[in-house]
Chains A and B, each alone.
Chain A
Amino acid sequence: MTDYAYTILIPLVPLAVFVFTGLTGHKMKPIVSGLIGTAGLSFAAILSYYTAITYFWTGHTAGTGYVSIKAFEVNWLHLTDLLTIKLGSLIDPISVMMLVVITTVSLMVHIYSLGYMKGERGFHRFFSFLSLFSFSMLGLVLATNIFQMYIFWELVGVSSFLLIGFYYEKPSAVAASKKAFIVTRFADLGFLIGILMLSFNTHTFDFQTLTSPTGPAIAQAGGAAFMGMSVLTWSMIFIFMGGAGKSAMFPLHIWLPDAMEGPTPVSALIHAATMVVAGVYLVARLFPVYALGAPDALTLVAWVGGISSLFAAVIACTQTDIKRVLAYSTMSQIGYMMLALGVSGYGGENGLGFMASNFHLFTHAMFKALLFLGAGAVIHAVHSNDMSGMGNLRKYLPITHITFLIACITIAGIPPLSGFFSKDEILVAAFHHNKVLFFIEYAVAGLTAFYMFRLYYSIFWGKQTHYHHTPHEAPYVMTIPLIVLAFGAIFAGFLPFHNLVTSDGIPFETTTEWSIAIPSVLIALLGIGIATFMYRRVTAVPDKVAGAISHLYKWSYHKFYIDEVYLFVTKKIIFNFISRPLAWFDRHVVDGTMNGIAGIIQVSSVSIKGLQSGRVQQYAFVFVTGTIALVLIFAYLW
């Protein structure tokens, strides 16, 4: 058994970098702080790769498969013997996989940002926030207990808030950062309630105890029933609410498109590859509890995932801001992952969905980070997010063009690129579990191919556009991460995930089910074909199609008016019927009491302040008179 205690350094190094560059960054040259951040992340990445190699090559034992190892743990907050909060690092297949994903994408984003953010004000601030985010995210995936996860969960929320609001002079960025923070914070309220319910009933925060198939959480699955479901099911639903908020699942997704106000590398790192999959990771981490103790909650996960993926895919077809298209595509792909978890069972081949979800998480991180970084290169070249003002960029941006095309093919699920394999496993898992969700996912596969190629053609083909100045390819520091991630997107699909990341740690065999794979590829090709027909050259077809389904088009363009529903509920209902009476109470009763007390004191002090005359002899006279009076009282009257 290898000793993995050093893994605690993986989050701590970025933390040290954050503190150092955050405090002293303004005194050094911007590029130096960027290089320090990149160096720290490289160190974390090397440690993560080392951990992954040792764990996946030596951590496996026949019979039990990959076991989870508590590598490091300290008592952080000791309240009572029962209520002790610990921090540490837990090594098991999914946490090791996440370490690799996070450090890889984060390192690529660091390198890319050296070029993308060059000359921006607050360059060092950007890099210190990136380090803070890396620290929080790595701490989250290494969490040994659910409370540590919650702490880091909030930390990633905060760093996401800071990075979305990086351009704090732009009102839309400030609004977006607040929206992201408040919506996810609201969801985290559910997470906290779920944690409290779960740990109250099981007397533990520890993941290993919680997820052990014979542990207290699953053994006491009955618990007390409330409204037809066990307490365990309720608590898992509440925990999933936190995960759904962070992962932008319907209906808590409204913050994700707005979060694209942040710098593009941030969107690639936080809002595509790592933070938004924290919800998937949370469900995967507690998967045995869901699968064995709370199957109803797991069904909810599946449906939320399925609906979100369809919903987001429909919206993505009509958006014109390239980053928003990618944001909805992210939401759709995370819906896939949630769905895969939801249709999975525990153990062996039943755990196909679990494996597929993590597989898709891995491949998605590669190709979605690639898409965002490619979009960043495009934005860098033409200084606009709006794809209606783009076209014919393939001549100017050859490397970006090729890598973007690779990512589009990957996400569309064309073999032999990685997206095909992971998506196919998800479809197989869905097919064996729930046919309705299975057909939803077929539809989403077609829509995904369509909107991604709509995006691709609109940027790189289409009309001849005249730019103010000739767009130029990004510098090498930006194109090299694109190329690295493109290799990841191409080859990640050949990783034997079914041998590495399974629900109970024991490898199992998978086969490609061609009866499912071939139709899905055909649907994807159909989507690509339609997109090619409509957008490769400028034609009147898109407008005609939009006119033919004008209602659906309008609803999709306006994102099904979910934002408006939220605004109605908050502004019209909550503000008018709850906030205003509370504000009145605060202003008149609470403030009135305080102001009244202060007023009384003021009036009485005005009336007696004349005694403070500043004349020493007057004081002495009062003193002498008082003394004499006291003497007389004590001598004669007592």
Chain B
Amino acid sequence: MTGVIPLHAFLVISTLMFFIGIYGFLTRRNLITMLMSIELILNSVNINFVAFNRYLYPQNLSGHFFSLIVIAVAAAEAAVAIAIIINIYRNFKSIDVDKVDVMRF
């Protein structure tokens, strides 16, 4: 089977995406960028689902469905998150996450 991409290649890609997402989430101060980082994390999980489904249980479709559900949830989450971000902007005139630290002791 020439040209077949091995499973670990997918896993490497998804792991990279996951930690890039984590890194972005922890270091970026812009809320929109943080939201994008979360999308990266979610999509890395999607890649894992699909890859494991294809390589380990090709007769089942559970992994595909799961990734579809994750995409749907991610869309809803993005809508809610952007609504929150808009409200934060209205209140703080900024979407810098460091400015939004009033929920403290």
Contact = CB atoms under 8 A, between A and B. Distances in A.
Contacts of B103: 614
B100 A616 contact: yes
A609 B101 contact: no
A613 B97 contact: no
A518 interface: no
A621 B104 contact: no
Interface of A: 609-610, 612-617, 620-621, 624
B104 A613 contact: yes
A621 B101 contact: no
B105 A610 contact: yes
Contacts of B25: 617, 620
B105 A615 contact: no
Nearest to A611: B105
Nearest to B19: A624
A614 B104 contact: yes
Residue among B29, B102, B105 having the largest count of chain A Cβ atoms under 10 Å:
B105
A614 B102 contact: yes
B26 A613 contact: no
Contacts of A624: 22, 26
Interface in B17-73: 22, 25-27, 29, 34
By Cβ-Cβ distance, the 10 closest A-B pairs, closest first, are: A614-B104, A614-B101, A609-B105, A612-B105, A614-B103, A615-B101, A621-B26, A617-B26, A612-B104, A613-B104
Contacts, number: 27
Residue among B26, B34, B97 having the largest count of chain A Cβ atoms under 10 Å:
B26
Contacts of A612: 104-105
Contacts of B98: 615
A617 B101 CA distance: 10
Given A614-B102, A615-B97, A620-B25, 20 more contacts: A609-B105, A610-B105, A612-B104, A612-B105, A613-B101, A614-B100, A614-B103, A614-B104, A615-B98, A615-B101, A616-B100, A617-B25, A617-B26, A617-B27, A617-B34, A617-B97, A620-B26, A621-B26, A624-B22, A624-B26
Nearest to B103: A614
Contacts of B101: 613-615
A624 B21 CA distance: 12
A540 B105 CA distance: 84
Contacts of A610: 105
Contacts of A615: 97-98, 101
Contacts of A616: 97, 100
Contacts of A613: 101, 104
A74 B24 CA distance: 76
A612 B104 CA distance: 5
Nearest to B98: A615
A624 B25 CA distance: 11
Contacts of B105: 609-610, 612
Nearest to B25: A620
A227 B100 CA distance: 80
Contacts of B97: 615-617
A588 to B, nearest CB: 32
26 contacts: A609-B105, A612-B104, A612-B105, A613-B101, A613-B104, A614-B100, A614-B101, A614-B102, A614-B103, A614-B104, A615-B97, A615-B98, A615-B101, A616-B97, A616-B100, A617-B25, A617-B26, A617-B27, A617-B29, A617-B34, A617-B97, A620-B25, A620-B26, A621-B26, A624-B22, A624-B26
